[in-house]
Amino acid sequence: MKNKTTIGFIGLGIMGLPMALNLLKAGFRVIGYARNPQKCEEFIQSGGEWAQTPQAVGKQVEVLITIVPNSPEVKEVLFGQNGAALGLAKNTLVIDMSTISPVESLIIAEKLETQGVRMLDAPVSGGDIGAKAGTLSIMIGGDKADVQQAMPIFKAMGKQIVHIGDKSAGQACKSCNQMLIAQSLNAVSETLHYAQKIGVDGHKVREALLGGYANSRVLEIHGLKMLEKDYKPGFQAALHLKDMHIVEQACKHYGVESLATQLSQKKIEEVVKQGNGHLDNSAIHSITIEAKGVIK
Binding test (CB under 8 A) with its own copies, winner from 30, 195, 226, 283: 195
What CA–CA distance (Å, rounded) separates 249 from 255?
10
Whose CA is closest to 125, among 160, 100, 167? 160
Rounded to a whole number of angstroms, the minimum distance from the CB of residue 161 to its own copies is 8
Counting contacts by CB under 8 A, is residue 221 touching its own copies?
A: yes
Query: Does the protein bind its own copies through residue 100 (CB under 8 A)?
Result: no
Q: Under the criterion CB under 8 A, does residue 260 sit at the interface with its own copies?
A: yes
51, 95, 138, 239: which one contacts its own copies (CB under 8 A)?
Answer: 138
Alpha-carbon distances, residue 83 vs 74, 92, 240, 252, 258 (angstroms) = 10, 15, 26, 33, 39
Minimum distance between the CB of residue 8 and its own copies, rounded to whole angstroms?
A: 25
213 binds its own copies (CB under 8 A): yes
Give the Cα separation of 236 and 221 in Å (integer): 14
69 contact partners, CB below 8 Å, separation of at least 6: 13, 98, 239, 242
User: What's the gap between Cα 229 and its chain centre?
Assistant: 23
CB of 156 to its own copies, least distance (A): 15
- Write down the catalytic residue from 174, 225, 242, 267: 174
User: What is the length of the chain?
Assistant: 296
* Footprint of its own copies on 33-72 (CB under 8 A): none
Residues in binding contact with its own copies, number by CB under 8 A: 76
Of 7-15, 31-39, 105-113, 208-216, which part binds its own copies (CB under 8 A)? 208-216
198 part of the interface to its own copies, by CB under 8 A: yes
Spatial distance between the Cα atoms of 211 and 17, rounded to a whole number of angstroms: 33
Does 191 interact with its own copies (rule: CB under 8 A)?
yes
Instruction: Tell me which of 95, 209, 239, 241 binds its own copies, using CB under 8 A.
Output: 209
Angle (CA) 220-153-73 rounded to 5° is 75
Catalytic residue check, 4: no
**160: three-class secondary structure by DSSP:** strand
Catalytic residues: 174
